[in-house]
Amino acid sequence: MATLNEYYPEVVLHPSSTLNEKLREMKMSRKEFALRTGKPEKTIIAILKGESSLTPEMAVLFENITKIPAHFWINKQARYNEYKARLNRKKDVEQAAEWTKKFPYNEMAKQNWVPKTLNIEERTIHLFDYFAVSTHEGWQKLYMESELKVAAYASLKHTSDPYAISAWLRKGELQADQISIPNFNLKVFKENLQAIKEIMVNQSSGFFTQLQNLCYQAGVKVFYTPKLPKVPINGSTRWIKDTPVIQLTARYKQNDRFWFTFFHEAGHIILHGKKYISLENIDFSEADPEKEKQAHEFAEELIFSKEQEKEVLAKDKLVFNDIIMFSKKFNTHPAIIIGRLQHLGKIPYSVGREYIVPINLSVVEQS
């Protein structure tokens, strides 16, 4: 990774400086030199003024006249070209300063997504490297204008904080690249969702690793990415390099919300295929309310259906033991029923807290 702290000469001269000096030494005019090389005089003058580049062909021609090896001229031109490119690069970095300030860089550094530094130019270079772009305009085209028409990218132009959201999404791309799995198999994924539901019901300490393994078997990548400030995202589903990817934050840190989010994202994979990108709880231009509703209903049907909900609500004088009984009958976790009833306002949020299991995926991922 190149940084502004690496050593590069402050000034590198065009080959014209050496060529002019050599012509003076040989007491040779520009016209004579042009005649001896067989090149138009205006071409030679442009090189001698530093207005034109010295080509490898010219370097070979100059070698016979100046007695200086062609590789000398070629290397000198190459060093000058790099010097000019780095001057332009420095301008790119300086012009991106305001762009850089819009990212939650400190939080990203705390998560080890980017190196820690207070220097704005170094931060800019690290962000270019993080997003694998050469300029902030490249980021703009990918994340704001969505010029790359693949499912991994969607326009974030109208979201609340496109900078933090793009950083979170990019981390997901980097994580996905580290996971090797077989090709996606829809049939296996549907079958494994039933086994994953059993994991939800039992909620053992190693549940997330078990969930990941069952998804990997079906060719689905699932992982945890810590949320960033100002990004109220629960999860995302995208297809990255023809592979479905579920990226989760465990934002609410409780099992009922976590499992609903996972099955919601799984619903997108099964129902909507490669062309749809889901950013749950984020309002963005390409979100489809109908598809989100379908994924919502898919998750409901799998973990605690509307018919099952009606049966619970039909119970006279519902008591806590009834919830436990229904959870066994429907093969779901009590927290799923409790969470739904709390959401409907049927029971207070203080009831059944012992079944709302805390979720801390940061610990799971580090173990």
SS (H, E, C) 162-200: HHHHHHHHHHHHHHHHCCCCCCCCHHHHHHHHHHHHHHH
Degrees to nearest 5, angle at CA 3 with 229 and 161: 20
Measured distance CA(119)–CA(127) in Å, rounded: 12
Residue 347 predicted with pLDDT over 90: no
- Quickly state the pLDDT bin for 98 (edges 50, 70, 90): very high
Q: Give strand pairing partners of 26.
A: none
Pick the closest to residue 138 from 95, 107, 175, 108 (CA basis): 95
pLDDT of residue 29: 94
- β-bridge pairing 278-280 and 235-240: antiparallel
| Least confident window among 255-259, 295-299, 313-317 | 313-317
If you average pLDDT over residues 243-270, what whole number do you get?
91
**Count of other CB atoms within 10 angstroms of residue 298:** 20
Residue 113's identity, in one-letter code, is W
Overall average pLDDT of the 350-361 stretch: 80
Is residue 295 predicted with pLDDT exceeding 90? yes
Which percentage of the chain shows pLDDT scores above 90?
Answer: 62
pLDDT at residue 366 above 70?
no
| Average pLDDT score over the chain | 88
Provide the pLDDT for residue 367.
40
Spatial separation of the C-alpha atoms in residues 163 and 143, rounded to whole Å: 9
Residue 186: predicted pLDDT: 96
Tell whether the model's pLDDT for residue 288 goes beyond 90. no
Provide the CB-side half-sphere exposure for 315 (13 A, CA).
16
Indicate the pLDDT class of residue 124, thresholds 50, 70 and 90.
very high
pLDDT over 50 (residue 148): no
On the question of pLDDT at 365 being above 80, the answer is: no
Burial of 263 (0-12, 13-18, 19+ CB in 10 A): buried
Q: In a 10 Å sphere around its CB, with 0-12 CB exposed, 13-18 middle and 19+ buried, how is residue 51 labelled?
A: exposed
pLDDT band at 363 (very low <50, low <70, confident <90, very high): low
At residue 152's C-alpha, the angle toward residues 280 and 137, to 5°, is: 105
What burial class does residue 337 get, using C-beta atoms within 10 Å of its C-beta: 0-12 exposed, 13-18 middle, 19+ buried? buried
Structure confidence at residue 6 as a pLDDT band (50, 70, 90): low
* Region of poorest pLDDT, from 2-6, 121-125, 169-173: 2-6
| 335 class by beta-carbon count within 10 Å (0-12 exposed, 13-18 middle, 19+ buried) | buried
Q: How confident is the model at residue 1 (pLDDT cuts 50, 70, 90)?
A: very low
Mean pLDDT score, 155-181 = 90
On the CB side of 300, how many CA atoms lie within 13 Å of its CA?
13
Tokens of 343: 């959401």
Give the contacts of 345 (CB within 8 A, at least 6 positions apart): none
Q: Give the predicted TM-score (pTM) of the model.
A: 0.79
224 vs 250, more confident: 224
* Cα dihedral across residues 297, 298, 299, 302: positive or negative: positive
Domains and CATH numbers, the chain: 16-95 (1.10.260.40), 99-177 (no CATH), 186-303 (no CATH), 306-361 (no CATH)
Give the range among 65-74, 110-119, 340-349 with minimum mean pLDDT: 340-349
Residue 292 has a pLDDT of 92
**Beta strands of the chain (E only): which ranges?**
221-224, 235-240, 243-248, 278-280
Kindly state the percentage of the chain with pLDDT values over 70. 93
